[in-house]
Structure formats: C-alpha cells, structure tokens
Structure 1
Amino acid sequence: MSDGAGTRSAVEWLATAAPDPGTCRWEWERNPLGIALLPAGRIWDVLILSSALGHPTLDVLSRCTDRLGPVLADYGDSRMGFFVPPGTAAGWVATGVRAVGRGSWVVVPHPGRAASGVRWIVPPDGRGTLTDPAVLELSMHEAAALLACDRRGEDD
C-alpha cells in the first residue's frame, strides 16, 4: 500500500476493531515494533493456515476472485492469516486451520510500515474488503489437491 490516502483509510478501518481506536493509532505510531493487538470477532475473524497450505491457497484464491481480504504472515513465514467476515470462526470446521474469532486477539502490523515479526502479504484496502469464506474453503481444497498431486509426482 504505497499511497498515503490508502494507508490512512486502512489504518482507520483496522483501528475500528480496537476497543479504543485512538489508542490503537497512538500505539502504531509509537510502538517500535509497529504492531497493535486487536480483538477478532468485531469487524473480522481470521483463519490461520500453515504457510505450506496458505501460499498455494492464496495463489488459487487470487485467480478466483479480485475481492481479496487482508492476509498476514507471521515471523518466519510459517503461518498465514486470512481475514474473513465476523462470525466465520464460530462455524468453521477444518482440520489444520485455526479459526480466530470473538474472544481472541490478533497481532496486527501497521498497514503502511514494516513491522517486526508479522507482515502483510495482502494489505487491507481501507474499504473493509474481506475474503469470502466459501471461496477461501474451495481454494484451500484445490490447493490441498494440487499439493497432493505434487507429492505423488515426487514419489514416482
């Protein structure tokens, strides 16, 4: 997110998840790590996948839709978090996927700056776009099938 207005609107949108948006913005500006701890379940939930599945899922998802919600990667790029509509986590049933919703907190980097430990792979657009969980699930299935085919090919 290179334009200042886009970054500002992304900051404003993300900060609305905080109990006190002003404190959240203040924390982002002054925290040397460039992160804030935000509650899930209010304006978004997060589905966390291993990067081994997350990267191919993002590739499939990017080909299926132009309405991608934000996607985070953790330090070391071992996990990825896909932002989905609130309430998704409560009904999500999938092996190997951690569903983070109401009652959970997420480390969120400032959308316009490098942060320590966590980074945006797909930054928030500032309009509140979230990934459709049904499209995400289908993309995960396709990515898992592609990974299985790749592994079978390596065994031959």
Structure 2
Amino acid sequence: MWNPAWMRGVEWLAAAAADPRACKRQWEHGTGFVLLEAGRYWNVLSVPEELGLSALDMLWHDPLRVPGPALRHSKAHRVGFLLPPGPVAQWVGAGVRHVGKGSWIPSPPPYRETGHLEWIIPPDGTGALHIPDVLEWSLRSAARALTASKTIHQNPARPLAEPADCHHP
C-alpha cells in the first residue's frame, strides 16, 4: 500500500531525472537505482559515514533543526545531505565532497533500500532540504565530538603514578 508522503517524495525526486516517467518505472520494477542530476533542484554534500551519522543525530535531537533528506551508501561509507544549490567554496574539509551542477548521483527509490543505497531520511515531496548554516553547524559539532572521542580513546587517562622510592626517616 502506497503512503501519500512516499508518493509526493517519489514525484519530487523523479523530477530531477532526465525522464521522470522512466525513473519512476525503474524504481517500481527495477532492482537498482537511477542516476539523478544534481544542481537544478538540490546539491549533495557527501561526507564520511561516521561524521554524517553523528551530524544527523545532533539534528534529530533539536526540534528547531529538523533534518532534510539524507542518503547513505553503506559500501562507500558515505552519507549525502540534500541542500539547496549553491557555491562549492563554503564546503571544505577532509573527506567532504560537494556535488552540484553537471554531476549525477545514484538514488534508490525513496520508499525502499536498493543494495548499498538507502534513504536515511527520504524526501517528503515538499522540497524541504537541509539548511546550509544548520548543516554546517551540525557537521562542525559532530567533527569536534568525534575528534574529542578519538583523543580520549587513544590517550586513556593513566592512573596516578606511585611516588618513587621514598626514604622516610
């Protein structure tokens, strides 16, 4: 049974395809994904999986920062955030890739997983995307938290050293 939100998401997402009807047929009857053009309705910010999942977790815990659509590629260990088309220069960082005009991304249907691709947060059909400033805040916060966590795990606190042989009178 089709959920109306899924249908709106399908229509919205398929609009980015070269042939929206063929795209929807492939999702309905195919077993894979379709390639969708970035840069017209949305861009994609692709980040390492651990960073992306941590950032999404931060976004979910704040009702004022409701996340937009997010795609996960489990084989490549990446998370992609759909955000409004815009300049590439603002998105810099280790492992961060900005996908915009002239690029294509693989997309499974919004209502089911396809191999290694799945929508963590599928498009809802309203056109809602990640807000760039909020996404940047969550990624920076997640990066700081992950760095702090790794530092703690790499340098666990040592027990206080016993004083050297002391000669008491």
TM-score (ref. length: structure 2): 0.83
> In 1, Cα distance between the equivalents of 2:30 and 2:90?
33
Letter in 2 for 1:135: V
For the residue of structure 1 that corresponds to 2:31, the secondary structure is coil
Task: Report the equivalent of 2:49.
Answer: 51
Q: Structure 1 unaligned runs (5+)?
A: none
Does the CA-based 8 Å contact 2:71-2:120 persist in structure 1?
A: yes
- Following superposition, the deviation at residue 10 of structure 1 comes to 0.3
Letter in 2 for 1:81: G
- Following superposition, the deviation at residue 66 of structure 1 comes to 4.4
- Following superposition, the deviation at residue 3 of structure 1 comes to 5.8
Task: Report the equivalent of 1:62.
Answer: 60
- Following superposition, the deviation at residue 152 of structure 1 comes to 2.2
> In 2, Cα distance between the equivalents of 1:27 and 1:145?
41
The CA deviation string for residues 24-62 of structure 1, in whole angstroms up to 9 with x for no partner, is 1122122222x1110001111000000121111111122
> In 1, Cα distance between the equivalents of 2:13 and 2:66?
17
- Following superposition, the deviation at residue 9 of structure 1 comes to 0.5
Task: Report the equivalent of 1:74.
Answer: 73
> In 1, Cα distance between the equivalents of 2:150 and 2:85?
35
Task: Report the equivalent of 1:18.
Answer: 17
The CA deviation string for residues 75-122 of structure 1, in whole angstroms up to 9 with x for no partner, is 33610000100125x333312210000000000110112312200111
> In 2, Cα distance between the equivalents of 1:134 and 1:106?
23
> In 2, Cα distance between the equivalents of 1:56 and 1:26?
34
Highest Rg: 1 or 2? Answer: 2
- Following superposition, the deviation at residue 15 of structure 1 comes to 0.8
Task: Report the equivalent of 2:144.
Answer: 145
Q: Percent identity?
A: 40
> In 2, Cα distance between the equivalents of 1:17 and 1:106?
10
Letter in 1 for 2:49: S
- Root mean square deviation, CA, Å: 1.7
> In 2, Cα distance between the equivalents of 1:109 and 1:9?
15
Letter in 1 for 2:47: L
Does the CA-based 8 Å contact 1:37-1:106 persist in structure 2?
A: yes
**Structure number with higher helix proportion:** 1
> In 1, Cα distance between the equivalents of 2:15 and 2:112?
19
- Following superposition, the deviation at residue 68 of structure 1 comes to 1.6
Task: Report the equivalent of 1:108.
Answer: 107
> In 2, Cα distance between the equivalents of 1:54 and 1:17?
23
Higher relative contact order (CA 8 A, sep 6+): 1
The one of 86, 89, 92 equivalent to 2:90 is: 92
